[in-house]
């Protein structure tokens, strides 16, 4: 208890017990808040990573599928190097040539090259001499993307010139992606689409 000079008001300080009790309570509250915020932040991080991953996989699949639809099966089959689960090269169809009764193809090639080591799918636009005109990388792709269908049992088989020829232009595109969230947690997501090459 303390008396100010000239004053009759008594001001009491906190006792030691009161100070300890309040510190304990604040500590518990802060700890609870910290745990809640950490869990929430982790949850947000995972959700965000999942959302980004799904959007990325969808976007890649859409681009690849659009490219394949626009070409002609023989263009993929006869390409050099030969088509595999990790490599394809083809030109989109421009129009029908009435005189020659065949397709007019665009001058530039679209090339897909997948590197498992880099987990990257590269989309190149090549000119007729093979020089890269533009390039776009799709990162964190974890599996080879190109397959086709065995029409005898409708099973998915690796893309080769023979299997694609036999399937009559049915390309199965598998985009498997992964993304890293907090605390080293790795998320994975994949989409598969069967694309019919529109020009026969």
Partner 1 sequence: MNNRGAVLVFGLVIILVLSVLASSFYFKSINENTLTKRYVESIRAFWLAEAGIARAIDLTPAFNITNATLLDNNANYTYTTRGAVETINATTNLYTINSTGSVSMPSGGTVTRRITAEVVEVTTKPDAGNFAYAIETTTSLDIRGAVTINPSDSKKEHSTLDFAALFGYTKSDMESHATHVYTPSTLGVVDGITWVNVPAGDTLTVAGTLAGSGILIISGNTHFSGTVDFNGIIYVIGTLTMTGTVTTNGSVLAESSTTVDTTIKGHVTLNWDEEEISTALDLLSTATSTIVSWKEN
User: Concatenated DSSP letters for 108-150?
Assistant: SEEEEEEETTTTEEEEEEE-TT--EEEEEEEE-B-S--EEEEE
Q: 107 or 129: whose CB is closer to partner 1? A: 107
Considering the complex, state which of residue 89 and residue 91 has its C-beta at the smaller distance from partner 1: 91
Q: Which is nearer to partner 1, 83 or 92 (CB)?
A: 92
Q: Closer to partner 1 at the Cβ: 103 or 109?
A: 103
d(CA 193, CA 115): 20
Query: In the complex, which residues of this chain contact partner 1 (CB under 8 A)?
Result: 33, 37, 40-41, 44, 47-48, 51, 54-55, 58, 62, 66, 69-70, 92-96, 98, 103, 198-199
Is residue 189 within a helix (H) or strand (E), and if so which, with residue range?
strand 186-196
Kindly state the smallest distance separating residue 200's Cβ from partner 1, in Å: 9
How near is the Cβ of 158 to partner 1 at its closest, in Å?
26
Least spacing, CB of residue 84 vs partner 1, in Å: 25
Residue 42 CB-density burial (10 A; 0-12 exposed, 13-18 middle, 19+ buried): middle
Pairing state between β 186-196 and 10-11: unpaired
């Amino acid at each position: 208890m303390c008396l100010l000079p000239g004053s009759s008001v008594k001001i009491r300080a906190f006792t030691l017990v009161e100070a300890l009790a309040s510190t304990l309570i604040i500590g518990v509250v802060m700890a609870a808040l910290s745990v809640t915020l950490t869990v929430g932040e982790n949850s947000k991080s995972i959700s965000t990573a999942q959302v980004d991953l799904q959007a990325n996989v969808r976007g890649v699949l859409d681009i690849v599928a659009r490219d394949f639809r626009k070409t002609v099966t023989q263009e993929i089959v006869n390409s050099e190097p030969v088509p595999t689960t990790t490599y394809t090269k083809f030109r989109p169809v421009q129009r029908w040539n009435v005189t020659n009764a065949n397709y007019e193809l665009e001058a530039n090639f679209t090339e897909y090259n997948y590197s498992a080591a880099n987990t990257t799918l590269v989309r190149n636009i090549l000119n007729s001499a093979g020089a890269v005109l533009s390039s776009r990388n799709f990162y964190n792709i974890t599996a080879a993307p190109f397959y086709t269908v065995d029409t005898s049992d409708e099973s998915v088989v690796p893309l080769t010139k023979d299997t694609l020829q036999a399937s009559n232009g049915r390309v199965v595109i598998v985009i498997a992606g992964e993304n890293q969230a907090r605390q080293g947690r790795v998320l994975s997501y994949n989409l598969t689409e069967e694309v019919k090459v529109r020009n026969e």
